[in-house]
Amino acid sequence: MRAASHSVGVAAPQIGVSRRAFCVDVTGHPKARSCHGELVVFDPVVVASEGAEVGREGCMSVPDLTGDVRRATRIVVRGVGMDGGAIEIEADAFEARAVQHELDHLDGLLFLDRVVAGDRVFRRRTYR
């Protein structure tokens, strides 16, 4: 996640770990409203969601493409934190999108599975 300057999250299956776990950190991202810093969650479950917004997403698993995906604008997720204790996170805007993106990886989905229309997939811009 840290090796790619445009990445804000990674799910355990993406790095060959067979666990329901992800890490997200939207610190400093211009689209972030809520920000929990470096957030690591094991066995996450969405317990509430609301709103909907279409936004552009990309992924380290498909590095050359981006696409427009509809996501909830606010979510509440329960899981287990790094210390083994129960946690509950309320996220909105970009942080909510990032968490939902990583949750999809835990269910074997890519953002391409959620693109709002087949013609809404694009070649990724070059980051410098």
Q: In degrees to the nearest 10, what's the CA dihedral of 81, 75, 37, 121?
A: 120
- Which residue in this structure is represented by tokens 């969650």? 41
Among candidate residues 53, 90, 95, 102, the one labeled active-site is 102
- Which residue in this structure is represented by tokens 């210390």? 83
Q: Active site includes 102?
A: yes
Active site members: 102
